[in-house]
Each structure stands twice: as structure tokens, then as C-alpha cells.
Structure 1
Amino acid sequence: MVYSAPPIFYDDVEFLIAFVVMIFSLVVQAVALIHCVTQRGDGFQAIGTLPKGAWLAILAVCIVLTLLGGYRGATGLFSLIGVAAALIYLLDVRPGLRDLSDGKGFW
């Protein structure tokens, strides 16, 4: 009796998951970078965080490293560090800048 194995879709599923994670990572990092570029430089000093140039460098390097890793590197160390840096910017620095520009204060 001959048994046949079911088709193996492991590579296709792995590629799709890695591709979706990479796209999500790049979108989050791009949103953070674009927001950082459009902000005034003195606002960063007013809320007591890194200067604008430092945030621009961190976010730009993270995007480049994510792109260089390709879809296989989407779950790699540099990509995860890039997402972490972008989320720190979006969840910590961005609300402070928004509150500062609204005049409500960030405290």
C-alpha cells in the first residue's frame, strides 16, 4: 500500500507571515520618522527627550536595517529593535509634543 503525504505549505506560510510582519514594521517606522521630520526641533528639548537629530538618526537607521534584512529578517533583531524605537517615539515622545503644541502642557 502506498501512502502519499499532504502537500507542504510551510515555506509559503512562513513567507507570508514574514512579509506581513515586515510591512507592519516598515509602516510603523515610517509613520514615526515622518512625524519626527515634521516637528519643530525646540519641542524635543522642551519635553526633555533626545534632540530631534538623534531621533531622526535612530529612526532612519532602523528603517534601513529593516529594509536590508529583507522579508526573512523581518523578525530579526534589528527589525524588532526598529519597531521598539518607533513605538517608544510614537507612544512617549509624540504625545508630549502634541500636548506641548496644544498649549495644555504635558504634565
Structure 2
Amino acid sequence: MASAPLFYDDVARLISFAVWVVSLIVQAVALIHCVTQRGDGFQAIGTLPKGAWLAILAICFLLTLLGVGGGAIGIFGLIGVAAALIYLLDVRPGLRDLSDGKGFW
């Protein structure tokens, strides 16, 4: 009976760490992609400017890395993952279509 709480704590800590690492990877991929894009492409697809995306992604990445607000499952970690996913699933395909010359319109 005494080993059950210890085992639970270890598993919970391991899952929390895994979620934190995956969260940082997703946010880092979005941030690196944003840094490497041209600024005029963001205006062409009708989204926030590059500077705004850089600020949002960098601040959220930093706050998640430092564990502010509860780490990856805290408020800043969840906002960071949401912002990174919005960037990767909405803005990135638009920039890719724009650079391919095919366009999305």
C-alpha cells in the first residue's frame, strides 16, 4: 500500500515532463519557422505582421521554458501551444503556398 503513492508521483512527474518537452518542441518549431520567413509574406496572406508573431511565439516559448504559470500544463504553456498550433496550421501553409507561386486565392 505504501508504494502506490510513490509510484503515482513518479508516473505523474514523468508524464508532466513529457508534456513539457513536447510543448517546447512544438513552440520551438513554430518560432524557428517564423524567424526564417520573409516579413512581407505575412501581409500578403492577411495575418498578423511577422513582428507580432515573433513576439507571441518567443514570449510564450520563454515562459513555458521557465515554467512560469505551471509549466506546460499551466496557462502560459497552453496559450503557447495554442499560438504555435495556430501558426503551424494556419499561417505556415499560407506562407508555403505564397512562396510556391501557386497561391491560395
Question: TM class by shorter-chain length?
Answer: over 0.9
Structure 2 runs not aligned, ≥5 long:
none
- 4+ residue runs over 4 A deviation: none
The alpha-carbon deviation at position 10 of structure 1 amounts to: 1.3
- For residues 69-80 of structure 1, what are the structure 2 equivalents within 5 Å? 69=67, 73-80=71-78
TM normalised by structure 1 equals 0.91
Larger radius of gyration: 1
State the distance in 1 between where 2:40 and 2:47 align. Answer: 11
Matched, 1:7 2:3: yes
Once the two structures are aligned, what percentage of the paired residues are identical? 80
SS of residue paired to 1:74: helix
Q: Which has the higher contact order (CA 8 A, sep 6+)?
A: 1
Report what 2:93 is aligned to. 95
1:1-47 Cα deviation digits (max 9, x unpaired):
xxxx2512111011100000000000000000000000000000000
Kindly report the root-mean-square deviation, in angstroms, between the aligned alpha carbons of the 2 structures. 1.2
- For residues 1-107 of structure 1, what are the structure 2 equivalents within 5 Å? 5=1, 7-8=3-4, 9-69=7-67, 73-107=71-105
TM normalised by structure 2 equals 0.92
State the distance in 2 between where 1:39 and 1:56 align. Answer: 11
- In the alignment of these two chains, the number of paired residues is 102
Q: Which has a greater percent of helix?
A: 2
1:39-86 Cα deviation digits (max 9, x unpaired):
00000000000000000000000001101217x522111101100000
